[in-house]
């Protein structure tokens, strides 16, 4: 099938020329994505292809798509689907502020900068743990539980086993709410208290439990649920 490029557009409407003249921040989402796929198909240029994709999918949806799902759109083959996913993966890696073993975590912002960009786009709930020593240095990061579309079963015993395995002095838990809102449920609050009680018996401090929603996050410590 013959390809139809965006070269036939007026110069002021061509994404590449607009980028060279004004910079990428002046391009629309569809124009930026058009630069990634570079060309369309016969009767449909790259901008029209990307506009069609963005009518159906937001960035989180695209980021979590598979090659096969993107190839359902006319003009998107395996190569272009791979280019799109590669760009979004680079974006996620850039957005995520890596916390490496031995690095100190001084506050909530350190944790959120590390976890939030990735966790807010997950389609299923996960419980993650940052294991710290007594100097607040990161020992290990792991996903303890994988949940369903709307819940993750947090077992205090399994959290305790993980702390013993890594000889943790403290732990920060984080789980996501794929539905969007980060507000803690009664179950979230109750299980957090059970985990804290279990860990206290081991001499391990539950420093915080963070809930990450699509549009924000909540620290149970900051909200006053970890007092006493």
Successive 10-residue mean pLDDT values, the chain, 228 residues: 53 79 90 91 89 92 91 95 92 65 69 71 86 90 76 82 94 88 90 94 94 88 86
Distance CA 38, CA 182 (A): 38
Per-residue pLDDT at 2: 44
Domain spans, the chain? 6-95, 108-219
Per-residue pLDDT at 76: 96
Per-residue pLDDT at 3: 45
Q: What is the pTM of this model?
A: 0.62
Assess contact for 211 and 127: CB atoms under 8 A: no
For domain 108-219, give its CATH number from 3.40.50.1370, 3.40.140.10, 3.30.1330.10, 3.40.309.10.
3.40.140.10
Per-residue pLDDT at 14: 83
Per-residue pLDDT at 178: 84
């Amino acid at each position: 099938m013959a390809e139809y490029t965006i070269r036939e557009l007026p110069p002021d409407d061509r994404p590449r020329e607009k980028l060279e003249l004004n910079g990428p921040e002046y391009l629309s989402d569809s124009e930026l994505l058009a630069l990634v796929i570079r060309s369309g198909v016969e009767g449909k240029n790259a901008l029209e292809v990307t506009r069609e994709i963005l009518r159906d999918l937001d960035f989180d949806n695209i980021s979590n798509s598979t090659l096969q799902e993107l190839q359902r759109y006319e003009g998107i083959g395996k190569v272009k689907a791979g280019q799109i996913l590669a760009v979004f993966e680079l974006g996620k890696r850039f957005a995520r502020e890596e916390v490496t073993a031995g690095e100190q975590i001084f506050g909530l912002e350190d944790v959120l900068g590390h976890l939030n960009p990735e966790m807010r786009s997950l389609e299923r709930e996960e419980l993650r743990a940052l294991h710290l020593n007594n100097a607040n240095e990161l020992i290990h990061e792991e996903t303890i539980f994988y949940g369903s579309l709307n819940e993750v079963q947090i077992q205090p015993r399994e959290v305790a086993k993980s702390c013993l395995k890594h000889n943790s002095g403290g732990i920060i838990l984080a789980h996501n709410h794929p539905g969007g809102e980060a507000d803690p449920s009664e179950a979230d609050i109750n299980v957090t208290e059970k985990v804290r009680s279990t860990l206290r018996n081991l001499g391990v401090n539950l420093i915080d439990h963070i809930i990450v929603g699509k549009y924000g996050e909540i620290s149970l410590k900051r909200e006053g649920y970890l007092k006493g």
